[in-house]
Amino acid sequence: VLQGSRSFVNTDQLGYILEIHRCKSINKAAKNLFISQPSLSNALKSLEDELGYLIFERTSTGIRPTANGEVFLRFASRAFEAYNAVRSTPQQRFENNNLSITSASSSFFSHTFFQFKREHPSPSANQDIFLEATIYPTWI
């Protein structure tokens, strides 16, 4: 998903960060995720260390995204949505026998899509679509 110099941000980490953001609390997010608060705090700190910036500012009333965190959360949300769309592909194929996915430009998602198509060929699905969309304004 996001490649740093040492490792990849995985989908579990994206889900954790998005849940923290949704709850505006590490403690509430940990309860919702059925993991301990210290484990979730450590996962967040580890990711922030890897990225080289804070995603959230800790306050006495909870947490709020930093400026860099806002950008990260926009990317993370889109990446997580695309990942969930890829995961739900077998159900989509069952329902309408065609596949349509739109994701942010990412070699991970395009690779996953084409790997899935190779592993699950369907001669009757001739309208499968994979679109890569940009999240940057076109005037830049």
DSSP state of 77: H
Rounded to whole angstroms, how far apart are CA atoms 119 and 102?
Answer: 20
Per-residue pLDDT for the chain (140 aa), expressed as one digit of tens each? 444 445 566 788 888 999 999 999 999 999 999 999 999 999 999 999 988 999 999 888 889 999 999 999 998 888 888 888 777 766 555 555 565 656 556 666 666 767 777 777 766 655 666 566 655 555 54
In the block, residue with structure tokens 């590490």: 26
* Residue 134 neighbours by CB distance under 10 Å: 9
pLDDT at 112: 72
Of 8, 4, 7, 5, the C-alpha closest to 108 is: 8
pLDDT at 91: 56
Rounded to whole angstroms, how far apart are CA atoms 138 and 50?
Answer: 30
pLDDT at 71: 93
Q: Residue 102's Cα: distance from chain center in Å?
A: 13
* Residue 104 neighbours by CB distance under 10 Å: 19
Tell me, yes or no, if the pTM score tops 0.75: no
The answer to whether 73 and 18 have CB atoms below 8 angstroms apart is yes
Q: In a 3-state reduction of DSSP, which class is residue 102? A: strand
Which residues make Cβ contacts (< 8 Å) with residue 114, sequence separation at least 6? 130
Pairing of strands 2-3, 8-9: antiparallel
pLDDT at 4: 44
